[in-house]
Amino acid sequence: MATVSTAGLPGGAELHAPQRPPAEPRTPSSAAVLSDAGDLLRALAAPVRIAIVLQLRDEDRCVHELVDLLGVAQPLISQHLRVLKTAGVVHGERRGREVVYRLVDDHLAHIVVDAVAHVQEGK
């Protein structure tokens, strides 16, 4: 903490100026991080996958629920879930004969919700 001179002030007390936290360095992300971010955005870049993420934001779901909610054929839902799983967007957990899918974290839902909101604002 920096000390400010108070010479000439009554009592001769020292004042301490608050220090600012050091600024975070503004270094660009590595090429690998940018590449991974691009892969993630590509995985989210299909209307059916966006719809899947929006559905999983509300609750975990199995394939047949997504088929019913989205009106898309089961093989197509499974293919899109495979892409999202490979990209680390969703995780599947087997429960008996079904696999229940959930989002890996809320950050991904925010990305999709913000993108949809942005598009709706412009129309």
Domains and CATH numbers, the chain: 46-123 (1.10.10.10)
Q: Which of 61, 70, 108 is nearest to 89 (CA)?
A: 108
Q: Which of 11, 19, 83, 88 is nearest to 46 (CA)?
A: 83
- Which pLDDT tens digit goes with each residue over 71-120? 999 999 999 999 999 999 999 999 999 999 999 998 888 999 999 999 99
- Which pLDDT tens digit goes with each residue over 18-55? 565 665 555 667 999 999 889 999 999 999 999 999 99
